[in-house]
Structure 1
């Protein structure tokens, strides 16, 4: 019995390296690049927490003790800022710099949990379910993803958004995937929570072509879009 076990162990020792080479070279072994999120936190101090809770109460009519959300939706954006560094600097302060049209509603700075660079690198600015100001009427239930650029978003960004949507769908009860330009379509629905009916801004990001590309690649997730129209 002992000699048989020795024979088997020697045999496996000899063939294992070749087996590993065969497996590594096979089509099944060609793994997709690892999905990574790089943490690059923006400031979330007591002032930002206070302003977030005030925004929830005053804009959404929601009283909470923690600035968190129960996500039901993902909203895709573009930054209209050409670089990651400049975008990070814009989101980093707790208080909104400039933009008097938005300051009239709140001094809380805009932000999102996720930022996708031109090459598809994904950065996490805030924990996934931290409240962030990025989409009027829907902040309280929406996770925002910003893409560096304007109407020139890249194929790498499409791929990264698809990966990120799939990641978030696995973790949370996500029902909707929309572009920022579709947010006003939710006015009058149970999801819409904005105390001032006149507080609206015009949006075109991240572009209809970008949204079609992302939606096509996550069709199997059966995520809903605008309640008014389908693409």
Structure 2
């Protein structure tokens, strides 16, 4: 009888833990990934990163977190959806390929997948060829729900892709200049970034310490 009760207690404990930790989920909301986008991606890889390959996919080495500076999901989707960059003459000089990321996190923490996880996406100068991007709807007001979703997503990506070694904020991308990881053929092609904010990065990093992901070469000076 005692053995039976012990077994039942163990089952109840395991079930309670499973309900306390709901399964990771995302919603597929695909943007255009047509032949034009694929060809522009291959051209970007060749011209900007000096990499020649046959398919527009990456072997991920890092995850880069961003904010959109656009207040709504649908407005952001409409920006990323076209294959060709709408406007932005400063970026058009480098490539006609539109900006995008595989993952977009809404204000309530809902995760939307716009592209296959390892599809090449233009979101971080010098590192696109090895980086999976995560965009968060908003600006310097990212929510607690978004932070939790980013933690879940980082954990998911690390489980799926053992090659991932780094987790950085977009504002840290220039720290890789001069390292073997940096691949940008034009040394003057740089933009100033502050997203997704140091506070947000600290919160995410603190919650994924057990993954032992590296930061940028300059992250050691930041309290995590």
User: Is TM-score (shorter-chain normalized) higher than 0.5?
Assistant: yes
Q: What does residue 191 of structure 1 align with?
A: 181
Q: What does residue 168 of structure 1 align with?
A: 157
In structure 2, how many angstroms separate the alpha carbons of the residues matched to 1:49 and 1:28?
43
| Cα distance, 1:158 vs structure 2 | 0.4
In structure 2, how many angstroms separate the alpha carbons of the residues matched to 1:47 and 1:187?
30
> How well do the aligned residues superpose, as a CA RMSD in angstroms?
1.8
| Cα distance, 1:28 vs structure 2 | 4.0
Runs of 4+ in 1 over 2 A off after TM superposition: 22-31
Q: What does residue 72 of structure 2 align with?
A: 83
- Deviation readout 1:60-115 (Å, 9 max, x if unpaired): 00001100000000000000000000000000000000111000000000000000
- What 5-or-longer segments of structure 1 have no aligned partner? 1-14
| Cα distance, 1:26 vs structure 2 | 7.6
- What 5-or-longer segments of structure 2 have no aligned partner? none
- Deviation readout 1:165-200 (Å, 9 max, x if unpaired): 000001111100000000000000000000000000
Structure 1 residues 1-231: aligned runs within 5 Å: 23=12, 27-28=16-17, 30-172=19-161, 173-230=163-220, 231=222
Rg larger for: 1
In structure 2, how many angstroms separate the alpha carbons of the residues matched to 1:203 and 1:147?
14
In structure 1, how many angstroms separate the alpha carbons of the residues matched to 2:87 and 2:46?
23
What number of residue pairs does the alignment pair up? 214
- TM-score computed with the length of structure 1 as normaliser: 0.89
In structure 2, how many angstroms separate the alpha carbons of the residues matched to 1:81 and 1:126?
19
In structure 2, how many angstroms separate the alpha carbons of the residues matched to 1:224 and 1:46?
35
